[in-house]
């Protein structure tokens, strides 16, 4: 995956598919780090903004994703792969409040479906 897309996703708290709470919007890095040149390129492309570092950021610059950057994430993040029926059923089990094993859960849900 493109490292610039990963920086944008990470900055807003999104996963590799662009999904997430998006409760933050910042990325701190400074000259000489692996990500700094990519962040500066994202600023040049209008996908991020940059503020000079301060004591609170340890001297590193602080980058924020712009609305254009959010749109870029939405356009370029890969789609989540489709789950098989069995994979979806197991995910439903993991998200359920049932105590006991998967087999017990299957028996309970198959009775409700019948």
Domain spans in the chain, listed from the N-terminal domain onward? 3-76, 82-114
Query: What's the fold here for domain 3-76?
Result: Arc Repressor Mutant, subunit A (1.10.10)
* Each residue's pLDDT tens digit, 28-50: 999 999 999 999 999 999 999 99
Q: Give the lowest-confidence range in 11-20, 47-56, 90-99.
A: 90-99
Q: Quick check: 102 pLDDT over 50?
A: yes
Q: How many CB atoms lie within 10 A of CB 10?
A: 17
Describe the strand order of the beta sheet including 27-29 as a list of residue ranges.
27-29, 61-65, 48-51
Which pLDDT does position 30 carry in this prediction? 94
pTM, full prediction: 0.75
Q: Quick check: 114 pLDDT over 50?
A: no
Residue 68 sits at φ, ψ, to 5 deg, of -65, -35
Of residues 91, 76, 87, the one with CA closest to residue 1 = 76
Q: Quick check: 96 pLDDT over 80?
A: yes
Tokens of 36: 């700094």
Of 83 and 97, the structure prediction assigns the larger pLDDT to: 83
Q: Give the lowest-confidence range in 32-41, 42-51, 77-86, 96-105.
A: 96-105
Of residues 4, 5, 27, the one with CA closest to residue 16 = 5
């Amino acid at each position: 995956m493109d490292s610039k897309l990963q920086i944008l996703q990470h900055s807003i708290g999104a996963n590799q598919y662009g999904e997430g709470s998006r409760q933050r919007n910042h990325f701190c890095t400074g000259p000489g780090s692996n990500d700094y040149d990519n962040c500066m390129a994202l600023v040049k492309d209008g996908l991020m903004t940059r503020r000079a570092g301060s004591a609170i950021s340890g001297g590193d610059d602080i980058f924020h994703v712009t609305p254009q950057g959010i749109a870029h994430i939405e356009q370029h993040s890969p789609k989540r792969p489709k789950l098989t029926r069995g994979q979806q059923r197991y995910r439903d089990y993991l998200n359920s409040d049932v105590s006991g094993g998967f087999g017990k859960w299957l028996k309970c849900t198959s009775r409700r479906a019948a």
